[in-house]
Structure 1
């Protein structure tokens, strides 16, 4: 690792040329429903790298929202009749188009979301991977044949598309989350209407342009991938209340998820919620210290602590806590902070000055409760840190029952907490309201197995000798409790985007009833 200063080597690329290659302009329509429009409020996309405006986006009006939903419904009515393997072929081509645009789109993610280059391109790779995954699923939308209790009857289940799937995404994964939903929803025969984060609208527009071209090249109605940029009042609230959208998949804060879930449930719709995470790593005396340090640093510092799977709590056995603390502080001192587009930088800025303020408030609350900052936490200033959004990642000593430790602060704060026995550590891992990701570093089989039992971690993701962050698309992603209960990707993820229908066929000349019921003579 390099020293914790910004690299002096400047990035060698032109934002103007990048925008041209991706079809972006200084002012961009933020609505796509088969055609590009946008007559609502104009917002600025501000780069967290330097606080400067990247471009402007014209958001949707209420009328454009309505037009867009109508276009998505019409597109669905045609798309659902396309054979599923053919739908998979379109998604295969989308994956290839994303491969061709990987570097450009990855740089745009870095510009707009502040991720380092490797993470920006990694997000696009997630999109490519989920497209490949969805292509395979397009030939595996299986139903079961079920033994009927009635003679000369056949019973089976089959799966049909839902309709228009609403997708609401957050700034920290501005395009990958859309693909996790839209690739699977599309091969299942649905159309998708997307409300992107208002902090990262340009990546959404560039991605939609790529999907549009794939559709047009195949004479497919491009409104299967509809984009509606807008605020909560104009777009978000309308989506959650709209009965034409049977499923709302929303990624964001627990507060937002509660609102979405309540509104959607009142109209008896479905919601797929990916919400907060307060993820912990347990480090036992038998653990490989090298592995644990690497896993903790990436989990806590990656994306500047702004992943839902970021590591926020570490429970270290009291016998190894001093050594682990020393190793972590040493590693943190070597984290190079600065412009995420520069070579060698490992941590970029927070998304906004508001996020910086939230981090400082959390540190003050920690200290008020008796915790101690062991390293970092301060705002960085100077010419190499423009825009007021750069911080030094923080390591703090804490106790597991601190109120602030039970809250999710979307920033690079890592709480180090001692434990005496594994039962205690698992109990503290499970004591927070959130239940997304968890991990244990150990070389003892019994400890690993205990962590993975029904009496172990209560999170949707449980890892052994791997950190909490960096999930693969092959496994179901999501968690329980305040994380919302949703699952994306994984073996049966397609079922969330379809409706199940039970079918019984009588090929006899009689009409026997189930349960042996006799009706009439």
Structure 2
């Protein structure tokens, strides 16, 4: 049965002002899963108006009240986990394991944000003036424009709103066109059920053709004071430029071209399992996915053969089948793009060790490539699909140089039997995150998450998330009358 949903404005479900709708497709079947309201700039202004009206009362609440709402929301989300799993399968082709991970981590993001609500919000400063108290105070900014992507819709939709809400801001969330329910409307339901006051979170959905106009209207509204974007580097550049044009701070979490460095003393069995997980989890559609395995030449062939065998044996197909490991990509166009990357590499001399071939609709098999060179697109472009390249390296120096030979800088993994050696390598890598003894895909809500260079700027998680969505003010209190020279 097709789902029909409107916008979530001021705590109510309402149609778009123009009465337009757009479709939300199931990537596995290609059928319409839902129709949602197609917002335009007029609807954006309605959403911002609702959020701006709600800001005063919400920011004035005791922090413990905001904490209670977020804690209840985490419980509500977990209580609806089966519904969330089915929703993610139908909307983004997520297999059950990935969907349940989304539920668990999203709930923890809410709980971490709840804890942040009562953290200290300022400092008492030293001052040269006698009889004066000097303070730096962090305060909520106002309305935050948040953009949620489709690939981890519950995690990233929640991360788009949790810290801003905990700090006392209100949020207008532009849900992904590919996951308007899971990345936006479903989360609004959860928070409303937890007692979030009307207007504190407003969700707009839109047709893909209107995405630019909706984003420009949202970021350009004078009542919006900060921008929170997770998505591709291409769109992130546009969002960052818009925010800068309007002199608004932005947190941008963008793409990656992530590498796992397999040193010559690594346990190969563990390394194969780690790289397979990092490369093929959620069909490689994670900003942290392991696109590249940089493997010491002495073990590269054995590693590649074992990784290829593992990749060839991973079940793929219907995301609702509990045995499926690799479901569809988000749409057939994405599968074709991945196949084109592989074909380009093969045409320039790369060797397919597993997978490859033409896609089947939105499905593409787990693929392992070697003999990859800088002449190939896959060497530089983010695959964002189930493809990993294996590149032999002579030593740690070459591994670090190749890992950093990219415009991106999100995450990396270093696999070695020597923790001190691994940490020394990690310190040399130019990424926002490095995992020694593990692969690239990891996320904890209390840790600073974010990248450098083309992977974005700003940090989510813990106190860093709250700092990103508050403004620091300098306040002084004179306890005695000052004396002036005239």
- C-alpha spacing 1:491/1:26, structure 2 compared with 1 (3 Å): closer
Match in the other structure for 1:224: 200
Contact kept in structure 2, 1:297 and 1:328, CA below 8 Å: yes
Contact kept in structure 2, 1:80 and 1:161, CA below 8 Å: yes
Which deviates further from its counterpart, 250-259 or 200-209? 200-209
Q: Which runs of 4+ in 1 moved over 6 A?
A: none
Q: In structure 2, what is the Cα distance between the partners aligned to 1:58 and 1:448?
A: 50
Match in the other structure for 1:408: 382
Q: Is structure 2 residue 327 aligned with structure 1 residue 348?
A: yes
Q: Is structure 2 residue 56 aligned with structure 1 residue 72?
A: no
2:86 to 77, 84, 107: 107
1:390 to 363, 367, 376: 363
Contact kept in structure 2, 1:356 and 1:389, CA below 8 Å: yes
Deviations along 1:318-358, whole A, 9 cap, x unmatched? 00001101110111121000111112111100111110111
Deviations along 1:372-404, whole A, 9 cap, x unmatched? 2221122454xxxxxx11111111114463452
Q: In structure 2, what is the Cα distance between the partners aligned to 1:400 and 1:474?
A: 38
- Give the TM-score normalised by structure 2: 0.95
Q: In structure 2, what is the Cα distance between the partners aligned to 1:87 and 1:402?
A: 53
SS in 2 for 1:360: helix
Match in the other structure for 2:71: 92
Q: In structure 1, what is the Cα distance between the partners aligned to 2:231 and 2:348?
A: 28
Contact kept in structure 1, 2:148 and 2:175, CA below 8 Å: yes
Q: In structure 1, what is the Cα distance between the partners aligned to 2:111 and 2:403?
A: 34
Match in the other structure for 1:333: 312
The equivalences for 1:229-268 within 5 A come to 229-230=205-206, 231-268=210-247
Contact kept in structure 1, 2:305 and 2:353, CA below 8 Å: no
Q: In structure 1, what is the Cα distance between the partners aligned to 2:442 and 2:456?
A: 19
Q: In structure 2, what is the Cα distance between the partners aligned to 1:28 and 1:256?
A: 26
- Give the TM-score normalised by structure 1: 0.89
- C-alpha spacing 1:83/1:53, structure 2 compared with 1 (3 Å): same
SS in 2 for 1:408: coil
SS in 1 for 2:455: coil
Q: In structure 2, what is the Cα distance between the partners aligned to 1:167 and 1:334?
A: 39
Q: In structure 1, what is the Cα distance between the partners aligned to 2:373 and 2:403?
A: 9
Q: Is structure 2 residue 417 aligned with structure 1 residue 443?
A: yes
Q: Which runs of 5+ in 1 are unaligned?
A: 1-15, 17-24, 382-387, 513-518
SS in 2 for 1:80: helix
The equivalences for 1:149-168 within 5 A come to 149-168=128-147
Match in the other structure for 2:192: 212
The number of residues matched between the two structures is 479
SS in 1 for 2:139: strand
Contact kept in structure 1, 2:132 and 2:477, CA below 8 Å: yes
Q: Which runs of 5+ in 2 are unaligned?
A: none
